Structure 1
Amino acid sequence: MSNEFQTYGQSYPSTEVKNKVLQNTYTLLAMTLAFSALTAFASMQFAMPQVPFFLHLIVFIGLLFAIEKTKNSGAGIALTFVFTGYMGYTLGPILNYYLSIPNGGQVVSSAFMMTAVAFLGLSAYAVTTKKDFSFLSNFILVGAVVLMVGVLTAWLFELQMLQLALCVGFVLFSSAVILWQTGEIVNGGETNYISATVTLYVSIYNLFLSLLQLLGAASDD
């Protein structure tokens, strides 16, 4: 298949190519965020139940694996919308819960605004400075393992304080991933806009959920 889906080359991509990957990434990201918002709204309106933890984990990993396998084709784009639509669906029950508590609307809006400001600020910094954030890769790898173990532990033993600590960890982790992934695009280390979109989307999703939990805990009387 042609390189239409952004595997433009593996070594020293031109400035034009890097700009094209960046443009396509943020275009697809904006579209998937909008689609995710629609599925979240539908999930809220129909009061859909929360997906069980292990089922969610299986679907999440399965879709990521499928996207990785098809990232150089149109199927990769279709699966990206399936994935982000599903993630929006899972967000619906969570938002309904927070909107049902005192000051819930303020908590949700504050988490949304903080997520938007953080993402735009980090992205703008990476794009304008063109710094190499590859040094964050080891932190991201270790952080992913630590956070996954922490999530499983907190779920198994229902440790609320650990859950809050994990939220702080996810805020730092997601921020690092946004810087790293954007830097990779700007400097030519990432040439597939589907992969880049999914990475940034998951980071935004985790950042929003983590801020939502932290703000919700802070506002709890």
Structure 2
Amino acid sequence: MSIETLQRPAAEHQVTPSLISTHRVLRNTYGLLSLTLLFSAATAAASAAFALPHPGLLLTLAGFFGLLFLTSKLRDSGWGVLSVFGLTGFMGYTLGPILGQHLALPNGHQVVMMAMGGTAAIFVALSAYALVTRKDFSFMGGFLLAGIVVAFLAGLGALFFDVTALSLTVSAAFVLLMGGLILFETSRIVHGGETNYVMATVSLYVSIYNLFVSLLALFGFGSTSD
């Protein structure tokens, strides 16, 4: 038996620097994501409990994109983490009035719990699939971007013209698009396409937020139509 043969098993179990880096990004991303989800849930609960008014579409968009831009600028420093909490806290605040509306329904608590359970199940299942199979979903990037832009514009149309059918269609589309975004972003982390855990956290948080709001709209409509 040659020396090369004896050394081969040890070599096969060596962990490459890129793999270590990927695991670190994943660990930091899921750790920060967990904290921001808890913080966002707390601000949403407080907003709903105190019946705070919704800031409105324009202020919501301005706050979201402004804080997103700030986070992107600060992503390589410790201030970037604080900016993420600012962004997710603000989005939690905007979610509070929406939760309040649904909780006021006859079976509102059930609707909210179903949306939370559905969001958690979809996120865990898709994340696990991307992590276990290690498939590359980078090809979905262009399709997801185009789909999100179209769905966003359609959602604005449904809001301004008060078209219920279009609003439900947009919600269903966002469920599919956010599921695709979870696969895409997780795949990017696994394959080294995203090495900044701050921006990875923001992307996954936005996916979870929109997924939850979309499921809430679909389940809420089903509840009111019964």
Q: TM-score, normalised by structure 2?
A: 0.91
1:187 aligns with 2:191: yes
What is residue 151 of structure 1 aligned with on the other side?
155
**CA distance in 1 between partners of 2:223 and 2:45 (Å):** 24
Return the letter of the residue paired with 1:142: A
Secondary structure at the counterpart of residue 14 of structure 1 = helix
Return the alpha-carbon distance in structure 2 between the equivalents of residues 144 and 98 of structure 1: 25
**For residues 159-170 of structure 1, what are the structure 2 equivalents within 5 Å?**
159-170=163-174
| Structure 1 counterpart of 2:136, one-letter code | D
CA distance in structure 1 between the partners assigned to 2:72 and 2:187 by the alignment: 20
In structure 2, the residue matched to 1:73 is: 77
2:19 matches 1:15: yes
Structure 1 portions without partners, runs of 5+: 1-11
2:177 match: 173
The amino acid across from 2:19 in the alignment is T
* Aligned counterpart for 1:115 among listed residues 97, 113, 119: 119
Q: Is the 8 A contact 2:75 2:199 kept in 1?
A: yes
The match for 1:197 is 201
Counterpart of 1:168, as a letter, is: A
- Cα distance in structure 1, aligned partners of 2:133 and 2:75: 28
Report runs of 4+ in structure 1 exceeding 4 Å deviation.
Answer: none
Partner of 1:134: 138
Match among 60, 65, 68 for residue 64 of structure 2? 60
* 1:116 to partner: Cα distance: 0.3
Aligned to 1:50: 54
Q: Decide whether the 8 Å contact of 1:13 with 1:188 is kept in 2.
A: no
1-side partners of 2:102 and 2:153: how far apart? Answer: 26
Partner of 1:92: 96
Distance in 1 of aligned mates of 2:118 and 2:208:
11
Q: Return the letter of the residue paired with 2:65.
A: I
3-state SS in 1 of match to 2:195: coil
Q: Call closer, same or farther: CA 1:60–1:13 in 2, change over 3 Å.
A: farther
1:51 shift after superposition: 1.3
Shift of 1:13: 6.4
Q: What are the Cα deviations for residues 67-96 of structure 1, in whole angstroms up to 9, with x where unaligned?
A: 111111111111100000111111111111
User: Aligned residues: percent identity?
Assistant: 52
Alpha-carbon separation, structure 2, partners of 1:69 and 1:153: 32
Deviation at 1:23, TM superposition (A): 0.4
* In structure 1, distance between residues paired with 2:17 and 2:90: 33
Unaligned runs of 5+ in 2: 1-15
Q: RMSD of the alignment, in Å?
A: 1.1
Q: Between Structure 1 and Structure 2, how many residues are aligned?
A: 210
Provide the residue aligned with 1:211 in structure 2.
215
